[in-house]
């Protein structure tokens, strides 16, 4: 009699139940599950560098931006960090006034030093700089002022401008504030006292010349109405604009200064050579010898406009009785 066969339970493989095959097979499903597990516990890696391949900014002619592509935000952010400005935005242009250097308008927060004549250096004395900025080349029409400038120009033969300016208060005290009417009455005794006390400043011939010239100064005032009328007639009542660019171009004398020097000496003035007279013409503004690169060149030209009209009226009153002289000295 045959025995019935024993039924054996299926063997367990690794204790797991058999998996049902998927459409692509069990191997494919296992790989997908392993991939999902790895992505869940993925270690943090280095941050990816931002690429510029996501954005393209297209600026149309009317200034609108085409943001159809996805890269517009990235380029804008990077340009803002790099300081790149849009080139399609027009900025208002600055208008530079005439006679003003463009560098002066670069920034109101950064002071730009004024451009002066070459003989003013960073080591120049403040008094000399003020003399250049406020007095030198500025047209002068007052007789007392002109007499003082003529006397100081005579002192240039023995002193420099900085030295004269430092002693200017001494000169004014010594010569009664350069009042021609007062100095014209100085007698010989007072003159010897002046030469003795002032010999440390000027030589005796220069002191005597300044006193003697005051007497001749009054004669010119009587003849021409004022010393100003006499001086300005040599340039037809208009200052000469030299227009030099370099200090080496400025002369020591000119035909105009030689003409005035000859006429002054003919009238009895002392120590008034062509060089002295040209220095006087420079400082009195009869000649504008500021370099054209100096900020004072245009200022001195402009300062003459208003004063010239007032001087014209003064000449008409002073020489009103002589029509011939009026025609001669009032031609402008």
Residue 117 among known ligand-binding residues: yes
Residue 294 among known ligand-binding residues: yes
Rounded CA-CA distance 35/38 in Å is: 5
Rounded CA-CA distance 178/169 in Å is: 11
Rounded CA-CA distance 269/266 in Å is: 7
Residue 169 among known ligand-binding residues: no
Residue 290 among known ligand-binding residues: yes
CA distances from 130 to 4, 126, 280 (A): 136, 6, 18
Q: What angle do CA 155, 160, 166 make, to 5 degrees?
A: 90
Which residues, other chains included, contact 158 with Cβ-Cβ below 8 Å and sequence gap of 6+?
Answer: 202, 203, 206
The two tokens of residue 255 are: 């035909």
Nearest to 191 by CA among 28, 199, 10: 199
The count of C-alpha atoms lying within 13 angstroms of the C-alpha of 181, restricted to the half-sphere facing its C-beta, is: 5
Burial zone of 76 (CB within 10 Å; 0-12 exposed, 13-18 middle, 19+ buried): middle
By residue count, the chain amounts to 332
Q: Would you call 48 helix, strand, or coil by DSSP?
A: coil
Known binding positions: 117, 132, 290, 294
Known binding positions for Zn(2+): 117, 132, 290, 294
């Amino acid at each position: 009699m045959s025995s019935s066969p024993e039924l054996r339970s299926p063997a367990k493989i690794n204790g797991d139940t058999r998996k049902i095959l998927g459409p692509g097979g069990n191997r494919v499903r296992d790989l997908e599950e392993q991939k999902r597990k790895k992505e869940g516990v993925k270690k943090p890696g280095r941050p990816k560098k931002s690429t510029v391949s996501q954005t393209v900014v297209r600026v149309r002619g009317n200034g609108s931006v085409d943001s159809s592509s996805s890269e517009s935000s990235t380029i804008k952010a990077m340009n803002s960090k790099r300081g790149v400005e849009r080139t399609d935005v027009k900025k208002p242009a600055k208008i530079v006034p005439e006679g003003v250097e463009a560098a002066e308008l670069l920034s109101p927060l950064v002071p730009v030093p004024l451009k002066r004549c070459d003989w003013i250096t960073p080591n120049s004395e403040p008094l000399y700089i003020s003399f250049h900025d406020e007095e030198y080349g500025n047209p002068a029409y007052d007789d007392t002022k002109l007499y003082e400038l003529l006397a100081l120009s005579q002192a240039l033969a023995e002193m420099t401008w900085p030295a004269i300016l430092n002693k200017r208060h001494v000169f004014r005290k010594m010569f009664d504030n350069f009042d021609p009417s007062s100095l014209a009455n100085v007698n010989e005794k007072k003159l010897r006292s002046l030469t003795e006390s002032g010999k440390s400043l000027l030589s005796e011939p220069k002191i005597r010349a300044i006193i003697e010239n005051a007497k001749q100064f009054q004669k010119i005032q009587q003849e021409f109405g004022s010393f100003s009328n006499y001086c300005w007639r040599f340039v037809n009542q208009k200052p000469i604009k030299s227009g030099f660019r370099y200090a080496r171009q400025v002369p020591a004398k000119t035909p105009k200064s030689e003409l005035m020097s000859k006429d002054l000496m003919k009238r009895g003035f002392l120590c008034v050579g062509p060089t002295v007279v040209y220095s006087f013409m420079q400082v009195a503004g009869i000649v504008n010898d500021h370099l054209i690169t100096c900020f004072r060149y245009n200022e001195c030209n402009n300062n003459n406009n208003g004063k010239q009209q007032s001087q014209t009226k003064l000449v008409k009153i002073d020489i009103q009785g002589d029509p011939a002289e009026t025609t001669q000295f009032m031609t402008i």
